[in-house]
Chain A
Amino acid sequence: MTTPAPTPPPPVAEPTPTAARVLAQFPEVMHRRSDNGQPFLLVPAARIAEVVQFVRDDLQVAMPVLLDLTAYDLLRFPGTPPSDAIAVVYLLGSYQHERTLTLQVHAERAACRVRSISNVWPAALYFEREVFDLFGVEFLGHPSLQRILCPDDWQGHPLRKDYLWPLEYQGVPHLRDGQHFDGGPVRPTPAVPAATAEPEPELPRGGEAKKP
């Protein structure tokens, strides 16, 4: 018994029938592959609500499940054309047909606004809050877009690659020697008005202590 010759891999640019259906419906959607070969559909930020509604309801595409909604920062990202956008990733799936579909929206870094898909999938409510918290993507139409992991008064969005680490939080020092671990810049301590500036009270050991 001879081993069959290995079949050549399909051409890189060939979209799956599911993706081809979306591409035919929305000409402005582009078929791309990430640097490790994973295909995805790059959707213009203005059209994401329609595309998501279509891929959920269309009988040929039929992606009823929002598996994940996440993001990554394209700044200094290897293997892609240089860009400073925030890539919002929508992982959609169908258990019935056993297939998945990946959508991406590249949102501008400065004006990072993407239409919320929480009216299509309510499960996106928490995902979008997390992406907003960590990447600073503002989801238009989200009913309650507030931080979900960081404290409400946290400054900045930590998973952006140009995030400045805090030198202190609420008066408590954060960086041990005042330096980022790789020597990078840190967020300067906000200036406290002189009228309200008070020295931090020393904590007594055990006994009554004032609230810091």
Chain B
Amino acid sequence: MTERPGNDLKEQIQLTAVDEFLAWGKEHSLFYLLFATACCGIELMQAGGPRYDLDRLGMIPRATPRQADLMIVAGTITHKMASRVRTLWEQMTEPRWVVSMGSCANAGGPFSKWSYSVLNGIDKYVPVDIYIPGCPPRPEALIDGVMALRERVKRYRTTGERAAEPHIVTVGNQAFGGHGCAVPLDRGPTT
């Protein structure tokens, strides 16, 4: 692959299995549902902007859950909002993936003990594949979570196996910072 292919037709053709090719395509075209509920959405917009540019990963925001592969829960989820998020998740087509972005979506964040209305983690309503701690996580952490998710998508597409346990992002030096509840209490250590 290091040399330029010559003009010979045989050198310009690569052979692969259709499944692998489709898996490659799915892995590199994770369309995400465009919605955000709190300030993590600002960081999500920044990650989608030209500086960090989620588009180069093939990630295009979709305005409807029926065209989305991935739901990024970015922000505080209240009890009132949680059932709506669940409805959006149910409208997504299989296979669907969920990234929980930030302390609030992970475990309630600063509201986990001092609010009467905030849900302590969106994983009570939808299954979460990737947890990204931080308040908010930097775009690097979000992209790290996306890269971990792409590995899972690739494995699912080629072998049909879905990882049973969620992945917790640890980049960005924000893994356990913030509010002492950056990750769900039953999924990792806390300060």
A interface residue numbers (CB < 8 A to B): 150-151, 158, 163, 165-166, 169-170, 172-174, 176, 181, 203-209, 211-212
Task: Known A205-B127, A211-B90; judge A176-B112 contact (CB<8 A).
Answer: yes
Which of B31-39, B44-52, B94-102 is near enough to bind chain A? B94-102
Question: Do A205 and B79 have beta carbons less than 8 Å apart?
Answer: no
Q: How far is the CB of A150 from chain B (nearest CB, A)?
A: 7
Q: List 28 A-B contacts (CB under 8 A).
A: A150-B80, A151-B79, A158-B116, A163-B116, A166-B116, A170-B79, A170-B83, A172-B79, A172-B125, A173-B120, A174-B79, A174-B116, A174-B120, A176-B108, A176-B112, A181-B114, A204-B127, A205-B127, A205-B162, A206-B96, A206-B97, A206-B127, A206-B129, A206-B162, A207-B94, A211-B86, A212-B86, A212-B125
Contacts across chains A and B counted by CB atoms under 8 Å? 53
Which bucket holds chain B's interface residue count? 20 to 34
> Among B108, B112, B117, which residue has the most Cβ atoms of chain A within 10 A?
B117
Q: Collect the chain B residues with CB atoms within 8 Å of residue A208's CB.
A: 94
What is the CA–CA distance of A181 and B110 in the complex, to the nearest angstrom?
12
Q: How far is the CB of A187 from chain B (nearest CB, A)?
A: 10
Question: Do B117 and A205 have beta carbons less than 8 Å apart?
Answer: no
Q: Does B4 contact A (CB under 8 A)?
A: no
Binding site of B, secondary structure by majority: helix, strand, loop or mixed?
Answer: loop
What is the CA–CA distance of A165 and B120 in the complex, to the nearest angstrom?
14
Q: Collect the chain A residues with CB atoms within 8 Å of residue B95's CB.
A: 206
Task: Known A169-B79, A206-B127; judge A176-B113 contact (CB<8 A).
Answer: yes
> Among A150, A166, A174, A203, which residue has the most Cβ atoms of chain B within 10 A?
A174
Q: Does B185 contact A (CB under 8 A)?
A: yes
Q: Collect the chain B residues with CB atoms within 8 Å of residue A176's CB.
A: 108, 112-113, 120, 185
Closest 9 A-B residue pairs measured CB to CB?
A: A181-B113, A205-B127, A169-B79, A151-B80, A158-B116, A172-B124, A203-B127, A206-B162, A165-B116
Q: Does B82 contact A (CB under 8 A)?
A: yes
Q: Collect the chain A residues with CB atoms within 8 Å of residue B126's CB.
A: 203
Interface 1/0 per residue, B38-70 and A, CB below 8 Å? 000000000000000000000000000000000
Question: Do B86 and A205 have beta carbons less than 8 Å apart?
Answer: no
- Complex: chain B residue closest to A171, CB-CB: B124
What is the CA–CA distance of A187 and B58 in the complex, to the nearest angstrom?
48
Task: Known A150-B80, A205-B164, A209-B127; judge A172-B117 contact (CB<8 A).
Answer: no
Q: How far is the CB of B179 from chain A (nearest CB, A)?
A: 12
Q: Collect the chain A residues with CB atoms within 8 Å of residue B125's CB.
A: 172, 212
Q: Collect the chain B residues with CB atoms within 8 Å of residue A173's CB.
A: 120, 124
What is the CA–CA distance of A6 and B154 in the complex, to the nearest angstrom?
78
- Complex: chain A residue closest to B126, CB-CB: A203
Q: How far is the CB of A15 from chain B (nearest CB, A)?
A: 39
Q: Does B119 contact A (CB under 8 A)?
A: yes
Q: Collect the chain A residues with CB atoms within 8 Å of residue B120's CB.
A: 173-174, 176
Q: Collect the chain A residues with CB atoms within 8 Å of residue B86's CB.
A: 211-212
What is the CA–CA distance of A169 and B82 in the complex, to the nearest angstrom?
11
